[in-house]
Structure 1
Amino acid sequence: MLKNALKLLKRQLHAKSVEVPEWLPNSFELSSSFNGRAEYARDVATSMSVYENFLSVDEEQSILNEIEPYLKTLRYEYDHWDDAIHGYRETERLHWNDDNVKILDRVRSLAFPPSVTPLQYVHILDIDRKGYIKPHIDSERFCGDTIAGLSLLSDCVMRLVRDDEKELHVNVLLRRRSLYIMKSVARYKYTHEILKSDCSLFKDEEVRRERRISVICRNSP
């Protein structure tokens, strides 16, 4: 009873303390530091898009059927070259079956205008249930200004934190089978991270984190 009452009070205080613009997508949760700074909120919200149910159940399974056999030959790693990821395994894939090529073409056509050259290699990142991605900004050596990622197997919360004003942060709910597209301001001005399973909250509700696979398309640097 007490726990539920405290949770309700916390939610009420949170609702009072944070100004939520009418145009803000439901998948976004702003910190109170955005109050009175609508231009900052709009900049990040317009440069980070989330498309729920981008994949059907069958399409998700089609991708998993193609990548799982190889992923199972890899071990989860707990040290990353730039200390950005904990509990992961990853690979790059160039060749896909015809059904999955169609899915990736849909991602690229939505994420990249005709004038932009997507990288042909697709990054596959498998995060263990207890793994997580630490705050980072992806290196410009490896990709350009747009990152498009499919979320497989699990919901999760991605947090964006403005690099030069840490109090400005946004929690973004990434549902299973959703697509996110990060570009411009969100890509360069904000770090991004995937929250640990024991910290995975969105609007004061737990978002259960399981093993999660990201299938990520990028453009050339």
Structure 2
Amino acid sequence: MEEFEKHFKRHLYEKDHWDNAIAKFRETEKKFFNKTNTPIVERIRNVAFPQTGKHSKVLPYTHVLDLAEDGYIKPHVDSVRFCGDRVAVLSLLSSSVARFRLDKDREVAADVCIPRLSLYVMKGISRYDFAHEILKNEESYFDGEHIQKGRRISVIRRNEP
């Protein structure tokens, strides 16, 4: 967090993202990390992406997204123009609830609790056929329990299109 705070403390939270998918956020992209964080970012790569083959080419920049406590991510399907078939997300600071909704039949949905300090990987049908979102705090329930999302930092690795 120390490495990210140096950047984020100089920026205000933005209200709207360029593609209208995120509210109340700050973001940056990093190609290089400090000595402490480099092995963590490489471990994400090694766990989430194959070592060889067409899916193995990971984008050189890692996306770091700072979502405010009252921020949220609106339902969307990631653009295939900017990344390939895999997205790996390390969630820091706060648990949250993600909703995956089948794009062709919005009645088919699943809520998933994303614990703080967890890694999840979207690939295959979860990547291309489901819209995904991080719920607003007032909607953030999992198994009947309210999951109060605090500030959420996500470290996101993607492979090449």
TM norm. shorter chain > 0.5: yes
Q: CA RMSD in A?
A: 0.7
Residue matched to 2:114: 174
The normalised TM-score by structure 1 is 0.70
Is 1:161 equivalent to 2:98 in the alignment?
no
Is 1:203 equivalent to 2:143 in the alignment?
yes
Higher Cα Rg, which structure: 1
Q: Aligned partners of 1:180 and 1:72: how far apart in 2?
A: 27
Deviation at 1:157, TM superposition (A): 0.3
Task: Tell me which amino acid in the other structure corresponds to 2:31.
Answer: L
Residue matched to 2:5: 68
- Give a deviation string over 1:167-203, Cα, whole Å, max 9, x none: 1101111001000111010000000000001111001
Q: Aligned partners of 2:51 and 2:119: how far apart in 1?
A: 19
Task: Tell me which amino acid in the other structure corresponds to 1:77.
Answer: E
Residue matched to 1:80: 17
Task: Tell me which amino acid in the other structure corresponds to 1:162.
Answer: L
Picking from 86, 89, 96, the partner of 2:26 is: 89
Q: Aligned partners of 2:10 and 2:81: how far apart in 1?
A: 28
- Determine what percentage of the aligned residue pairs are the same residue: 49
More strand by share: 2
Residue matched to 1:135: 75
Instruction: Provide structure 2 residue ranges, at least 5 long, that are not aligned to the other structure.
Output: none
Task: Tell me which amino acid in the other structure corresponds to 2:153.
Answer: I
More helix by share: 1
Instruction: Provide structure 1 residue ranges, at least 5 long, that are not aligned to the other structure.
Output: 1-63
Residue correspondences, number: 158
Task: Tell me which amino acid in the other structure corresponds to 2:40.
Answer: I
Segments of 4+ in structure 1 off by > 6 A? none
